[in-house]
């Protein structure tokens, strides 16, 4: 496959293919994406140059920070190599904090107690009661002050104890889940349940690493709220022949009578971290058991030939409705939670499944040269394939896939993470944002909106923590600058309706505060307790902080599920690594710390691949 060859016939058939994609989507409507596609795909834009220079504010910031161009070397080395001035880093940390504060304060002033902020009209947004089929809104908004809940641990990570304590008290006093709201089980779990558990853990931590985040007379109210919500989600796991849950549940009435029998793999298989934490805090195995049963059910349905899973499955028959296998929407967090469940709970089978999944991803989804930083050929790229044959299904990737370099960091496959991250960064440089879908064959967005997603920032942060290479601070600075320039609105930050035209939509999703701002802040905050305390922390798929400690290592469910038998040829629990790659953390030597993580000729190749140069 040649990335740079744009087939003339494909260009001539583009409009026809777009119409076909619109009629035959790869994913069941509204099940697997955090955002549906409300408009037709645009014609391919003209090739764009690099983003426009920053505003005078940013130019002033760079000058005050002491960042100047280095001399010698090629353009990439001049721009990215060398040390990153600590003064500039501190200013960028403060800018990231200011971004969060502006978004959070705007929500509290104009939108609370509603779920989300409309940043263009400075008002709140809740469920769409007039149109129950508006899943783009109703899957996420449950009439329970979503943005406030989702932002709790970001307040703590930024050390704002007074606002954290005030926000927690507001949640305790005002939030109820006794609502006639039909929500997506996945979204309610990762955004709401996960944040309540994270804040509870922070409040009850005897070490208090973020400052005094304790609440006077706290009586586990957040844990009780989390328990109440989880109980209301449990009906999704009932009356399903496979054990795979229904995608939606009404918080008062249970599963709606007209509920779909189809769900996406990520939505059904990414509940184990939050449900497992809740079970282990309560000493009640019920929640972990249903989540673990769903993971095992999905795992049992993988292809016998490729070992891959599809993206949409029928929960009653186990039949794959969507046969696309990739790393983006519909599958992304399923892989993420196989590894993170092992990290948190230490269960051997979770690591077994992850290593098998990673091996099959490398065998069937990865294209390009074998090594990231040496050799000839196209850069590594992970594509969408048919789960049964491994054959290419389309030529687009989506922005959610940008999380994968961060996951590779966690298992030590840093070299491969460097290449994939560079590809997504190149797209960001071209548009000042990541389009929801990008067609690498046509070098153009297929779906051009950007809802302030955090995945590229997350991978940037984790790669910096793994390599300490200042390159990733430059990447974070570019992202921060683009967000300020293109998405800042009257009352917060707005979704980009079109990454080329830079038109805005009146929505600020809660994950902007819980993830995007948090990862940007942590990237520039070297002294943050997360990096200094000696404690071990993990981020959920919604960016919520949870401590990795022994209280989550006691299994509660072996008496219900069959015991796991370890075979002598299986990987040991201490061996957290992928089994089929040649590079690892130790192969990024110290002398490369202030050099480009990717050789400039390969970086230029990727920039050409996305039409940046």
- 434 within domain boundaries: yes
Q: What is the CATH number of the domain that holds 192?
A: 1.50.10.10
Per the structure, the count of domains in the chain is: 1
Q: Please give the pLDDT value at position 73.
A: 61
Q: Please give the pLDDT value at position 519.
A: 98
Residue 174, marked binder: no
- 565 within domain boundaries: no
Quote the CA–CA distance of 485 and 470 in Å, as a whole number.
23
Q: Please give the pLDDT value at position 18.
A: 45
Q: Which of 332, 446, 509, 515 is catalytic?
A: 332
- 561 within domain boundaries: no
Cα torsion through 174, 176, 179, 185, rounded to 10 = 130
Quote the CA–CA distance of 459 and 355 in Å, as a whole number.
20
Question: Would you call 332 a catalytic residue per the annotation?
Answer: yes
**For the chain, percent helix, then strand, then coil, each to nearest 5?**
45, 10, 45
- 14 within domain boundaries: no
**Of 382, 295, 362, 287, residue with least CA distance to 333:** 295
Question: Would you call 116 a catalytic residue per the annotation?
Answer: no
SS3 state of residue 398: strand
pTM of the model: 0.87
Q: Please give the pLDDT value at position 74.
A: 82
**Of 267, 202, 190, residue with least CA distance to 230:** 190
162-165 long-range contacts, Cβ below 8 Å, gap at least 24?
164/199, 164/202, 164/213, 165/213, 165/215
Q: Which of 116, 153, 187, 336 is catalytic?
A: 187
Quote the CA–CA distance of 115 and 143 in Å, as a whole number.
6
Q: Please give the pLDDT value at position 579.
A: 38
- 29 within domain boundaries: no
- 134 within domain boundaries: yes
Question: Would you call 69 a catalytic residue per the annotation?
Answer: no
Q: Which of 350, 455, 505, 542 is catalytic?
A: 455
DSSP secondary structure letters along 295-308:
HHHHHHTS-TTT--
Q: Please give the pLDDT value at position 48.
A: 30
Q: Could you tell me the residue range of the domain that residue 380 belongs to? A: 82-556+596-610
Q: Please give the pLDDT value at position 45.
A: 32
Cα torsion through 79, 84, 89, 92, rounded to 10 = 0
Question: Would you call 352 a catalytic residue per the annotation?
Answer: no
- 36 within domain boundaries: no
- 570 within domain boundaries: no
* Intervals of the chain under pLDDT 70: 1-73, 533, 555-594
Q: Which of 150, 436, 446, 515 is catalytic?
A: 436
The DSSP element (H or E) to which 225 belongs, if any, is helix 221-233
| Residues 147-170 pLDDT 10s | 999 999 999 999 999 999 999 999
């Amino acid at each position: 496959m040649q990335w740079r060859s744009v087939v003339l016939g494909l260009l001539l058939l583009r409009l026809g293919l777009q119409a076909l994609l619109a009629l035959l989507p790869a994913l069941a409507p509204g099940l697997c994406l955090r955002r549906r596609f409300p408009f037709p795909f645009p014609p391919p834009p003209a090739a764009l140059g690099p983003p426009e220079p920053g505003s005078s504010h940013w130019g002033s910031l760079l000058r005050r920070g002491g960042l100047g161009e280095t001399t010698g070397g090629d353009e990439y080395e001049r721009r990215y190599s060398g040390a990153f001035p600590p003064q500039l880093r501190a200013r960028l940390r403060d800018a990231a904090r200011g971004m969060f504060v502006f978004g959070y304060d705007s929500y509290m002033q104009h939108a609370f107690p509603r779920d989300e902020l409309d940043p263009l009209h400075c008002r709140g947004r809740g469920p769409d009661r007039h149109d129950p089929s508006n899943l783009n809104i109703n899957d996420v908004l449950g009439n329970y002050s979503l943005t406030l809940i989702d932002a709790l641990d970001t307040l703590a990570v930024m050390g704002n104890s007074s606002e954290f304590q005030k926000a927690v008290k507001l949640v305790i006093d005002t939030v109820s889940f006794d609502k006639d709201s039909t929500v997506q089980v996945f979204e309610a779990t990762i955004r709401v349940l996960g944040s309540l558990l994270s804040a509870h853990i922070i409040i009850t931590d005897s070490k208090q690493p973020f400052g005094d985040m304790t609440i006077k007379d706290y009586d586990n109210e957040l844990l009780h709220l989390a328990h109440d919500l989880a109980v209301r989600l449990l009906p999704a796991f009932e009356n399903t022949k496979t054990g795979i849950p229904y995608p939606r549940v009404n918080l008062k009435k249970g599963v709606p009578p007209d509920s779909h029998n189809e769900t996406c793999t990520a939505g059904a298989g990414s509940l184990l971290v939050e449900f497992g934490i809740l079970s282990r805090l309560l000493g009640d195995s019920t929640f972990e058991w249903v989540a673990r049963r769903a993971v095992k059910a999905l795992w049992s349905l993988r292809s016998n030939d490729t070992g891959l899973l599809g993206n949409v499955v029928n929960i009653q028959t186990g039949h794959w409705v969507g046969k696309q296998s990739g790393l983006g929407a519909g599958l992304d967090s399923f892989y993420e939670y196989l590894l993170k469940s092992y990290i948190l709970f230490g269960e051997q089978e979770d690591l077994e499944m992850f290593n098998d999944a990673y091996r099959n991803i490398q065998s069937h989804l990865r294209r390009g040269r074998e090594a990231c930083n040496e050799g000839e050929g196209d850069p590594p790229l992970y594509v969408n394939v048919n789960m049964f044959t491994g054959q290419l299904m389309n030529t687009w990737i989506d922005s959610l896939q940008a999380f994968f370099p961060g996951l590779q960091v966690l298992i030590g496959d840093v070299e491969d993470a460097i290449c994939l991250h560079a590809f997504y960064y190149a797209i960001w440089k071209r548009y000042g944002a990541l389009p929801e879908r990008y067609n690498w064959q046509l070098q153009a967005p297929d779906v051009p909106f950007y809802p302030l997603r955090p995945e590229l920032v997350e991978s940037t942060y984790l790669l910096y923590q793994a390599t300490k290479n200042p390159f990733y601070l430059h990447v974070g600075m570019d992202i921060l600058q683009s967000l300020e320039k293109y998405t800042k609105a009257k009352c917060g930050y707005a979704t980009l309706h079109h990454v080329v035209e830079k038109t805005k939509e009146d929505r600020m999703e809660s994950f902007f505060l819980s993830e995007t701002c948090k990862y940007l802040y942590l990237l520039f905050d070297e002294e943050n307790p997360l990096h200094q305390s000696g404690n071990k922390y993990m981020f959920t798929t919604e960016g919520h902080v949870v401590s990795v400690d022994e209280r989550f290592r006691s299994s509660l469910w072996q008496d219900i599920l069959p015991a796991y038998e370890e075979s002598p040829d299986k990987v040991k629990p201490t061996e957290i690594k992928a089994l089929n790659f040649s590079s690892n953390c130790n192969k990024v030597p110290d002398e490369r710390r202030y050099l480009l993580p990717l050789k400039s000729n390969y970086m230029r190749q990727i920039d050409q691949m996305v039409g940046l140069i």
